[in-house]
A and B are shown apart, each in its own frame.
Chain A
């Protein structure tokens, strides 16, 4: 029992007609970073909120370190730290006041709460902003304070809901490193993300969630090989033979290319980026003319396409980076 941090069996949450979480089973091992990957509206946050006692569980069972989440929520709350998608700190209080308040609420004496607040602010590089109200904080500073607030009692399990959404690349890298540091200290982390590269960089194991169901689970490597390590995107010239192109790809890489909704576009999953040259040579020899070419790492959309047979449905909104890459490629 001790080697497992979180177990969930047949977790269900319905909002009216919508089955937001539809029978999910999970097991998070102690000391790992477990990533829950999926697009907006997949049910990631809802699931995390149920595990963190923030939403009642409609059906199924969940345990945190063996403690039943539905039956003993108060005990579970003493074992976990939760950092939400939207800063769960008080806008109108200063950084110190926020941490002091959360410390006091968890039974610390005033002086202890004050010194813990000062320690955490120093460790998160926020000592200069200690007496500023949060309304004046930048996005990255808020996230840091938010995470610091979850660490006041150093709980053995931390839930992070989209910890880097909306952060700039540098701040995101900093947050990743901080999260790795927490795990090195012995913490277990369960995080949700809509970015494949975040799950890839951080998570030991990943569960892919779609429409409230788990569609895949494995290490980042296992997931990526299911879609190839990178993707060759081909746009065929007008009038080119699409069926012939599919055959050539099949012969060269031994995989079926994915036809994108736009006509004349092929996505070819590749083990290694070098394979792109072989495909191009094959197409040249077969006489298939090409309008544009680009090689990208797999995006969440492609993992989705491969796993579920449909795209995330809101690629333009949720995964801006994939459209950035398309722009770059042109």
Chain B
């Protein structure tokens, strides 16, 4: 070590901006963050997440491929069996039941990616800086979730589009479909707080994935997304009836197929709000504590 320092010291870099005087800085330092600042910081974090999405287009594989594959697959595999008609006509008669179900499923799967990506992100050095900056603790969590709206829109939009290509004709018209999409996107965003919370408590990204799967499977498959409730045994049917995903699927069907805003919409929105009210504060609390 001592041998290294013999050469003349290289010149460093000079910063020309004046240092803030400590007394002024202390006097200026505020104890709380205003709502406007929180929102602005959240949008800055959303901007960061969007930049990263644009540079990693492979992040869009799940939201583009899954709607295309699952819609076609489920339609042709289950369609004939469920409608008892068989053939092309059977598939077509299953589509109004199936498409809103697939929308719910793809949006939920997208939620899971929110938690996994947050966890991966949190392990990077830049999160140290986010923690050290005087910013709202919710901004680094909510920012990426706002950016993820893009993914929900793609997922929901592509599913409906695939449906239409293979013969789905939504009776609710364009407005009904848009309504169903909006509801699915809201629900996805709300449920994503559960996965964000898991992202803040899990040991690593892999375990976020594991835990999320355990939550995701019963939520999507123990719902009326793919099969009518009355075809299920009583105990299972009871769970299916209280599952918020079932309400989302029913509400979407009413919107997309009939153009009707039914009571199911209310239940779905309520369930979404309950999830946000519980899991947003939990996530922020856990983010503050654990990292």
Interface residues, chain A, CB within 8 Å of chain B? 2, 5, 30, 52-54, 56, 65-67, 72, 74-80, 82, 84, 86-93, 97, 101-102, 104-107, 116, 119-120, 123-125, 133, 144, 148-149, 151, 153-157, 169-171, 173-182, 185-188, 195-197, 201, 296-297, 299, 321-322, 325, 328
Measured CB to CB, the closest approach of chain B to A107, in angstroms, equals 7
Q: Which residues from A are CB-within-8-Å of B129?
A: 82, 84, 88-89, 102, 149
Q: Which residues from B are CB-within-8-Å of A56?
A: 289
User: 15 new A-B pairs (CB below 8 Å) besides A153-B20, A154-B18?
Assistant: A2-B23, A65-B22, A74-B134, A77-B134, A92-B51, A120-B17, A123-B16, A149-B129, A170-B7, A173-B10, A174-B13, A176-B9, A179-B12, A181-B12, A186-B21
Cα distance A168–B128 when bound, in Å?
25
Cα distance A188–B1 when bound, in Å?
26
Considering the complex, which residues of chain B in the window 1-43 have a beta carbon less than 8 Å from any beta carbon of chain A? 1-5, 7, 9-23, 25-26, 28-33, 37, 40-41
Q: Is B139 an interface residue (CB 8 A)?
A: yes
Interchain CB contact under 8 A, A92 and B12:
no
5 A–B contacts from the bound complex (CB under 8 Å): A77-B132, A78-B28, A87-B125, A89-B125, A175-B12
Interchain CB contact under 8 A, A177 and B128:
no
Q: Which residues from A are CB-within-8-Å of B37?
A: 107
Interchain CB contact under 8 A, A78 and B25:
yes
Cα distance A214–B239 when bound, in Å?
60
Cα distance A63–B95 when bound, in Å?
65
Interface centre among A90, A102, A149 (most CB of B within 10 A): A90
Interchain CB contact under 8 A, B32 and A67:
no
Interchain CB contact under 8 A, A322 and B1:
yes
Q: Which residues from A are CB-within-8-Å of B131?
A: 53-54
Interface residues, chain B, CB within 8 Å of chain A? 1-5, 7, 9-23, 25-26, 28-33, 37, 40-41, 44-45, 47-48, 51-52, 55-56, 124-135, 139, 289
Interchain CB contact under 8 A, B17 and A78:
no
Interchain CB contact under 8 A, B132 and A123:
no
Cα distance A202–B48 when bound, in Å?
36
Cα distance A297–B5 when bound, in Å?
12
Interchain CB contact under 8 A, B1 and A325:
yes
Interchain CB contact under 8 A, A176 and B12:
yes
Interchain CB contact under 8 A, B15 and A54:
no
Complex partner residue of B125 from A30, A84, A101, A133, CB under 8 angstroms = A84
Cα distance A192–B250 when bound, in Å?
60
Interchain CB contact under 8 A, B125 and A86:
yes
Q: Which residues from A are CB-within-8-Å of B132?
A: 52-54, 77, 80, 82, 88
Interchain CB contact under 8 A, B20 and A155:
yes
Q: Which residues from B are CB-within-8-Å of A187?
A: 19
Interchain CB contact under 8 A, B126 and A89:
yes
Interchain CB contact under 8 A, B44 and A104:
yes
Cα distance A155–B22 when bound, in Å?
8
Interchain CB contact under 8 A, A105 and B25:
no
Q: Which residue of B lies closest to A78 (CB)?
A: B29
Cα distance A180–B47 when bound, in Å?
35
Interchain CB contact under 8 A, B135 and A197:
no
The 10 tightest CB contacts between A and B, nearest first, are A177-B12, A178-B12, A77-B134, A297-B2, A321-B1, A88-B129, A78-B29, A82-B132, A75-B29, A156-B22
Q: Which residues from A are CB-within-8-Å of B2?
A: 197, 296-297, 325
Cα distance A328–B18 when bound, in Å?
45
Cα distance A130–B3 when bound, in Å?
35
Given A30-B22, A86-B125, A170-B10, CB of A182 within 8 Å of CB of B33: no
Given A87-B125, A90-B48, A328-B3, CB of A79 within 8 Å of CB of B29: yes
Interchain CB contact under 8 A, A102 and B133:
yes
Q: Which residues from A are CB-within-8-Å of B45?
A: 105
Q: Which residues from A are CB-within-8-Å of B47?
A: 101
Interchain CB contact under 8 A, A67 and B19:
no
Q: Which residues from B are CB-within-8-Å of A196?
A: 1
Measured CB to CB, the closest approach of chain B to A126, in angstroms, equals 9
Cα distance A77–B139 when bound, in Å?
15
Interchain CB contact under 8 A, A181 and B126:
no
Interchain CB contact under 8 A, B139 and A105:
yes
Interchain CB contact under 8 A, B22 and A177:
no
Interchain CB contact under 8 A, B26 and A74:
no
Interchain CB contact under 8 A, B133 and A174:
no
Interchain CB contact under 8 A, A123 and B20:
no
Q: Which residues from B are CB-within-8-Å of A107?
A: 37, 40
Cα distance A154–B127 when bound, in Å?
20
Interchain CB contact under 8 A, B135 and A105:
yes
Interchain CB contact under 8 A, A154 and B20:
yes
Complex partner residue of B13 from A66, A79, A82, A178, CB under 8 angstroms = A178
Q: Which residues from B are CB-within-8-Å of A89?
A: 125-126, 129
Cα distance A121–B160 when bound, in Å?
47
Cα distance A39–B9 when bound, in Å?
25
Q: Which residue of B lies closest to A30 (CB)?
A: B22
Interchain CB contact under 8 A, B22 and A299:
no
Interchain CB contact under 8 A, B12 and A197:
no
Given A84-B128, A97-B51, A123-B15, CB of A325 within 8 Å of CB of B139: no
Interchain CB contact under 8 A, B133 and A105:
yes
Given A93-B51, A156-B22, A325-B3, CB of A151 within 8 Å of CB of B17: yes
Q: Which residues from B are CB-within-8-Å of A88?
A: 125-129, 132
